[in-house]
């Protein structure tokens, strides 16, 4: 029964890949829905046997790798952490399957799409049930490959091609980091098994003082390992600097966006942090880095979301912001709160994406909220769904998002790190901004005056289509996630948070956090601290509604006020001086006054307005992270391509048949062409020997800078080569 949760999705994918054309669309859809439902049943059974029964199970399949000290077996572990992840993955995947059958039914490649979804779910389940880092890495890579295929499903779109390439390139950075961390970890513990590493984690108390040199930096082994883990998690979970692939992933179909953003790919990085608890607890610097990255990510993503007009991109940046809360919670040792928010976030974020997809489906693929309006009359069910999802992500009391989000903020305030107050208010501001753009999304879509679209649309055949609700299967998916967004937080809060509860009592981490006294501090915080997030959220929601309700009036008022203050300061600074000197107002002086007015405006207002314009442009362009990515990837692709091409070509030619001998002969021939005496040969050999000895000595002196110097030399030579080619 434990292995059925892996068996159903992979068998469904294989059947659809090889026999899908014989089944047809209806048969493939029925098989996918049945398979996903059986997977949910298996996940519920595992949850009952492990989480509720307080036991964990390890199933060993067969030996796999046995090389010296490396003994790796194919094993699957089912504990509290993996059972919760299984529950989230399977339920959300089931809802996405329902949605996809109707949403993609007219697509000629529906069968292939359903096979990709099942494969995606399989690799994610394989990842969360892994018993060691090598198995986890296989699931990690599988999720990355399937995300590329799903984002690029509509491969005829150039934007989809670029988005998929960006996702795979950025995630490859995280993959390399994770692989290096695994190598360093094995060199110290001689095992990559989670249980073994946990049992030997006390050794890191001694290893923590062992240092190494990375180039010229003296760094601790454990800090280096954890930094690589953090880098891998940040790439997969879209933390600041490595988040640019996540909004661009919206080029894929809406079910893909819901699956990637809610329950699978973006949660893999957070899961890696949760599974590596036994390592992070011995390094406070890594925890501080995690908390800082999470707080900054939540704030920056929320600010960027304010200026987005694409309905899917608004929700995408909210995903980045919520992932920041999870990473922030991990950095404060609040792993139960992070896992609780991960589970809650999966339901309401999938609900938001699928509700947005239902709206897009009804509006003939229109995604710009500025081209919508007055849809409440025509899409009442979609409105209720997206309203509940928005209120949940805002943290409105008694909805799912409130219990975990509010707990994380309270935990941040009660933590004893010196950044706690800063991170607390940063989280409050992020929550307020989330509330602002959530109300903006609701108002422009459902309440605003219609813009470009009213109650009728034209299809490609120039026939009128009335805006209508989605069909039955889409509504089933929305109802499943709707119920989860309302009741999951309330039903599971006593299992995750509060005094006397700890999800980590039944995990591979034997040193659980059941004695963490910060939970008591959270319970007895002053009431004013507990209600500050709610008050700020409600105030921000009210301001957002009023702003967009009276948008035109506010803009006109601001411009009039700005002009009034310009005139006032001009009169005070210039007119007063003019009156004191008894200067008459002739035409020439009028011209001079206008010039002076422009000058005064530049001095008094130019700086302030310039700063505001710069900030607006900075946030609107996403802090130019995309531009940075494009510069390093595309601007320097010629250099990197030629460098590796010439390096590979040079190695092949240098190591080819008699090439070394022929090159030496050519050098000697060129040298002896001008100097025919035997003494010159001897001098040449002596100089060559001195050069070789100098290179060997320099090689030993360089130490860890060897690789850096070689790469620098190759880059310089390649730049010279490119310049020579351009001159020719």
Per-10-residue mean pLDDT of the chain, 728 residues long, equals 89 89 88 93 91 83 79 87 92 91 86 92 93 91 90 86 87 89 86 84 59 56 87 90 86 86 85 88 86 92 88 90 92 88 92 88 79 81 90 91 90 82 91 92 83 49 59 84 91 81 70 57 82 92 87 66 54 41 37 47 50 72 78 60 56 49 57 52 65 67 60 63 56
Q: What pLDDT was estimated at residue 706? A: 59
What integer pLDDT is reported at residue 637 of this predicted model? Answer: 56
d(CA 287, CA 394): 27
**pLDDT (0 to 100) of residue 572:** 44
Q: How distant, in Å, are the alpha carbons of 553, 565, 572 from that of 560?
A: 11, 9, 18
Closest CA to 316 of 273, 262, 240: 262
pLDDT computed for residue 251 by the predictor = 84
> What is the structure's pLDDT at 635?
57
470, 550, 713 from 374: Cα distances, Å: 17, 16, 63
Q: What was the pLDDT predicted at 89?
A: 93
Contact 32, 110 (CB under 8 A): no
Structural contact between residues 373 and 451, judged by C-beta atoms closer than 8 angstroms: yes
- Cβ-based burial of 58 (10 A; exposed 0-12, middle 13-18, buried ≥19): middle
How confident is the model at residue 126, as a pLDDT?
Answer: 93
Check: CB of residue 404 under 8 Å from CB of residue 348. no
- pTM, two decimal places: 0.81
Separation of alpha carbons 657 and 654, rounded Å: 9
| Residue 116 burial (10 A CB sphere; 0-12, 13-18, 19+) | buried
Q: Give the pLDDT of residue 143.
A: 92
């Amino acid at each position: 029964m434990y292995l059925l949760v892996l068996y159903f999705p992979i068998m469904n994918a294989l059947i659809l890949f090889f026999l899908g054309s014989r089944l047809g669309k209806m048969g493939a859809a029925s098989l996918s829905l049945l398979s996903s439902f059986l997977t949910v049943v298996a996940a519920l059974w595992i949850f009952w046997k492990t989480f509720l029964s307080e036991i964990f199970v390890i199933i060993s399949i067969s030996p796999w790798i046995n090389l010296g000290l490396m003994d790796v077996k194919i094993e699957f572990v089912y504990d509290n952490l993996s059972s919760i992840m299984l529950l989230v993955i399977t339920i959300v995947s089931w809802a996405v399957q329902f949605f996809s059958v109707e949403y993609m039914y007219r697509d000629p490649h529906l069968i292939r799409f359903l096979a990709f979804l099942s494969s995606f779910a399989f690799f994610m389940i394989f990842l969360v049930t892994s018993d060691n880092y090598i198995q986890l890495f296989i699931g990690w890579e599988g999720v990355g490959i399937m995300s590329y295929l799903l984002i690029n499903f509509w491969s005829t779109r150039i934007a989809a091609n670029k988005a998929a390439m960006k996702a795979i390139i950025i995630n490859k950075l995280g993959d390399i980091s994770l692989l290096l961390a695994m190598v360093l970890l094995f060199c110290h513990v001689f095992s990559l098994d989670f249980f073994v590493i946990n049992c030997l984690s006390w050794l890191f108390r001694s290893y923590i003082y062992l240092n190494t040199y990375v180039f010229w930096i003296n760094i601790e082994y454990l800090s280096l390992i954890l930094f690589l883990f953090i880098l891998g998690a940040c790439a997969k979970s879209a933390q600041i600097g490595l988040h640019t692939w996540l909004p661009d992933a919206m080029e894929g179909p809406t079910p893909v966006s819901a699956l990637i953003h809610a329950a699978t790919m973006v949660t893999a990085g957070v899961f890696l942090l949760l599974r590596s608890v036994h390592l992070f607890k011995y390094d406070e610097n890594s925890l501080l880095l995690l908390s800082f990255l999470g707080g900054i990510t939540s704030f920056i993503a929320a600010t960027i979301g304010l200026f987005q007009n694409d309905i899917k991109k608004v929700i995408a940046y909210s995903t980045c912001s919520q992932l920041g809360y999870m990473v922030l919670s991990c950095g404060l040792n609040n792993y139960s709160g992070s896992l609780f928010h991960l589970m809650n976030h999966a339901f309401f974020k999938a609900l938001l994406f699928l509700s947005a997809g239902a709206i897009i489906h009804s509006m003939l693929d229109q995604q710009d909220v500025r081209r919508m309006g007055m849809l409440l009359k025509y899409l009442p069910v979609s409105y209720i769904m997206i309203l509940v999802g928005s209120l949940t992500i805002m943290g409105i009391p008694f909805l799912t998002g409130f219990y975990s989000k509010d707990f994380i903020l309270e935990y941040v305030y009660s933590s004893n790190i010196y950044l706690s107050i800063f991170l607390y208010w940063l989280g409050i501001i992020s929550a307020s901004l989330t509330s602002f753009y959530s109300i903006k999304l609701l108002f422009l879509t459902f309440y605003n005056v219609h813009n470009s679209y009213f109650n009728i649309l034209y299809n490609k055949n120039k026939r009128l289509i009335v805006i209508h609700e989605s069909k039955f299967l889409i509504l089933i998916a929305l109802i499943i996630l709707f119920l989860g967004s309302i009741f999951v937080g309330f039903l599971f809060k006593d299992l995750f948070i509060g005094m006397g509860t700890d999800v980590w009592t039944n995990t591979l981490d034997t040193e659980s956090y059941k004695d963490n006294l910060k939970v008591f501090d959270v319970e007895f915080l002053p009431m004013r601290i507990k209600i500050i997030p709610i008050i700020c959220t409600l105030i921000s929601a009210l301001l957002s509604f009023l702003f967009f309700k009276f948008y035109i009036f506010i803009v006109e008022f601001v411009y009039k006020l700005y002009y009034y203050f310009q005139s006032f300061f001009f009169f005070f600074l210039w007119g007063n001086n003019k009156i004191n000197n008894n200067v008459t107002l002739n035409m020439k002086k009028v011209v001079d006054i206008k010039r002076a007015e422009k000058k005064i405006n530049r001095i008094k207002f130019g700086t302030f307005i310039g700063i505001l314009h710069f900030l607006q442009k900075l946030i609107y362009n996403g802090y130019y992270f995309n531009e940075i990515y494009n510069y390093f990837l595309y601007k320097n692709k010629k250099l990197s391509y030629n460098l590796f091409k010439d390096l590979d070509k040079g190695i092949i030619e240098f190591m080819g048949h008699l090439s070394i001998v022929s090159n030496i002969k050519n050098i000697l021939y060129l040298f002896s062409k001008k100097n025919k005496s035997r003494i010159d040969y001897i001098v040449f050999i002596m100089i060559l020997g001195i050069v070789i000895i100098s290179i060997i000595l320099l090689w030993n002196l360089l130490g860890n800078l060897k690789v850096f110097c070689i790469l620098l030399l190759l880059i310089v030579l390649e730049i010279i080569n490119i310049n020579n080619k351009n001159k020719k």
